Amino acid sequence: MDIEIIEMAERKMKFLLRNSSPAMANALRRTLLSDLPKMAIHKVEFHLGPLTDDTGKEYESATPLFDEIIAHRLGMVPVPTDRDLFVPQDECVCGGEGCPNCTIEYFLNKSGPCTVYSGDLLPMTDPSHREAFKVKDEFIPIVELVNGQGINVIATAVMGTAKKHVKWQVCNGVGYKYLPRIAIDPKAASRDDVLECKDLCPRKVFDIEGGRLVVVDEHECSLCRTCVEHLRDGKGISVEGDDTCFLFKFETDGSYTAKEALDEAVRILRDEANEFVDQIENIGPESDLLPPEPEPEPPEEPEYQSEY
Ligand SMILES: [Zn+2]
């Protein structure tokens, strides 16, 4: 399996998966969607009662939304994830209690009138990591406060995967198609019904050059075969999907860059494949897999036959 990058931005990528199979393409899609570990806010502690801000102004710890709605909104905020710095809580040396290796704590303290945004979450970490741990989208509205209202919370992010909850989902819009292969018969390229395909094609794959139909953007083809159905006898243009080559695209929520997400997905797939091979090799000879042979039943005692 080979990967050829076609477009790469910080949060989205388009690439070709060559020399592969539909099963492998689907495995990569599922890994990108649900197996990448990322940090997300999992616990939110609300301060209750009156609060005082830096100027001495008093306000009430109250918002127009229920606490659980605010906690849910905070959970969906993309938290940057560095796989070299963090481990899942259940694999951590702290035994799951929470420590700087498996959690990031954020402090949020605002008083109205204002709109509280995701960017108001301040990482409670040493100054060297503060910028790196700031949430990626700073303008996600969390709640609107009026005069006299305030919010004061400590939110804790831990690592998880989208198998458990969508807040741990890194990639979205993950999709692929068989790479389109379009061939125009040179003898038919100037035929009227073939030329009409330029305007018929909904994805604008064709153009006309020198009175002949040519393919200008093969990757755009959705394999709808509108052109082939329009042709006389269905001949002149052939459109096929290549089931060994796949055109992939996906986006990330910002917790990983697109490149990091693809690297991590390939690493996870490779580790799982190696583990599977190890397990197969450790099974032992085929005879171990068969159920034990039943003990032969003892021969029946011959019935006593009288000699008389
Ligand atoms: Zn820990």
Whether residue 146 sits in one domain with residue 110: yes
Whether residue 103 sits in one domain with residue 46: yes
CATH at residue 66? 2.170.120.12
Domain range spanning residue 121? Answer: 39-161
| pLDDT at site 297 | 77
- With H, G, I as helix, E, B as strand and everything else as coil, classify residue 274: helix
Question: What does R_g of the chain's alpha carbons equal in angstroms?
Answer: 31
Contact between 83 and 38 under an 8 Å Cβ cutoff? The reply is no
β-pair type (206-209, 50-52): unpaired
Separation of CA 102 and ligand 1 centre (Å)? 4
| pLDDT at site 289 | 67
Separation of CA 142 and ligand 1 centre (Å)? 28
| pLDDT at site 295 | 79
Separation of CA 84 and ligand 1 centre (Å)? 14
H helices, E strands: number in the chain: 7, 14
Let me know if residue 302 belongs to a domain: no
Separation of CA 282 and ligand 1 centre (Å)? 33
| pLDDT at site 102 | 93
| pLDDT at site 59 | 82
Residue 301 CA to residue 4 CA, distance in Å, equals 76
Convert 215-251 to b/e letters by CB count within 10 Å (16 or more is b). beeeeebeeeeebbebbeeeebbebeeeeebbbbbbb
In sequence order, what are the beta bridge partners of 80? none
Separation of CA 261 and ligand 1 centre (Å)? 23
| pLDDT at site 191 | 86
| pLDDT at site 287 | 62
CATH at residue 210? 3.30.1360.10
Let me know if residue 189 belongs to a domain: yes
Whether residue 245 sits in one domain with residue 196: yes
The total of structural domains in the chain comes to 2
Q: Say what the pTM is.
A: 0.81
- Per-residue tens of pLDDT for the chain, all 308 residues: 899 999 999 999 999 999 999 999 999 999 999 999 999 999 999 988 888 877 878 888 888 999 999 999 999 999 999 888 899 998 999 988 889 999 999 999 998 899 999 999 999 988 888 888 999 889 999 999 998 899 999 999 999 999 999 999 999 999 999 999 999 998 888 888 889 999 999 999 999 999 899 999 999 999 999 999 988 887 889 999 999 999 999 999 999 999 999 999 999 999 999 999 999 888 876 666 677 777 777 777 666 655 55
Separation of CA 134 and ligand 1 centre (Å)? 20
